[in-house]
Amino acid sequence: MLAQKRSLSSTTTTAEDRWQRGYKSSPYRDQRYEVILAGKGVFMHDSELGITRASESLCRSLLEKQQTVPKESLFRDDIFETTRLNLSDKNEARVIQDISRLIVPSPETLATFVAEHLSILTESVDEAWTNSIPFTQPRPQPDFAVGFKEEAFTKDQLSKLSPFIGDYLGEDESFFMATYRMFSPFLTCEVKCAASSINIADRQNTHSAALAVQAIVKLIEAVQRKKRTPQTDPCVLRLA
């Protein structure tokens, strides 16, 4: 639960992640990676329990809500097929360049122009999660991710989080950090071109998303322990 120092071997792997783009996806090419995740309690299939009605209602409202459609876009009805054909034999970098921002707009860009309330968010592009505690190697390095800036928290909240995030500028690892700039990531995206299997992206995204969910679970568990044993630790975990 508490932050921990990164091992030398972990640091070496991270350096490779930064310089070898192909390395980050190679373990995910093996279908047995899903077995590794399952052994950590992370499953890539629907649960028999389904999702809560509240979650289903939220997803449905997002899907059915009227959205503003950009007037000039590669997704425009009359040129969509041309766009698809142009990208059908292109590499991953080209797909990211032309399509990613159309599907997942940049919160930092939106904050600059029209949505100031998004200024507490930060994003990363192909950046290794060097401050995270991964389930297994390699550590996540999503094509695109969004989380919170340090400025999203008050000084009091950061003080309460301090035992769990450690010296994140000094490269301590924790459940609540992705990079030294990103707290509590909540959105990750992976892109694959025609030459790659979508299953690879699914495994990469599952690993990243599982770490994000794990952070919330760890925090809830810590709060519940605090409520049961209020005398044990003066560090208050309630962040609200």
Q: Tens digits of per-residue pLDDT, 5-18?
A: 665 444 444 444 44
Query: Is residue 125 situated within a structural domain?
Result: yes
Query: Is residue 116 situated within a structural domain?
Result: yes
Q: What's the mean pLDDT in 57-86?
A: 90
Is residue 220 pLDDT above 50, yes or no? yes
Per-residue pLDDT at 145: 97
Total domain count, the chain: 1
pLDDT band at 204 (very low <50, low <70, confident <90, very high): very high
Query: Is residue 12 situated within a structural domain?
Result: yes
Is residue 234 pLDDT above 60, yes or no? no
Give this prediction's pTM. Answer: 0.80
Query: Is residue 71 situated within a structural domain?
Result: no
Per-residue pLDDT at 31: 92
Domain that holds residue 164: 8-42+105-228
Query: Is residue 145 situated within a structural domain?
Result: yes
Q: Which residue has the higher pLDDT, 21 or 235?
A: 21
Per-residue pLDDT at 235: 36
Query: Is residue 80 situated within a structural domain?
Result: no
Query: Is residue 120 situated within a structural domain?
Result: yes
Whether 167 contacts 61, CB under 8 Å = no
- pLDDT tens per residue, range 75-97: 888 999 999 999 988 988 999 99
Per-residue pLDDT at 240: 37
The residues, any chain, with a CB within 8 Å of residue 153's CB and separated by 6 or more, are 161, 183, 239
Q: Which residue has the higher pLDDT, 197 or 151?
A: 151
Per-residue pLDDT at 194: 75
Per-residue pLDDT at 110: 93
- pLDDT tens per residue, range 105-131: 999 999 999 899 999 999 999 999 999
Helices (H), the chain: 8-19, 33-39, 53-64, 80-87, 92-95, 101-103, 107-113, 155-165, 198-228
Whether 74 contacts 102, CB under 8 Å = yes
Position 112, amino acid: T
Query: Is residue 3 situated within a structural domain?
Result: no
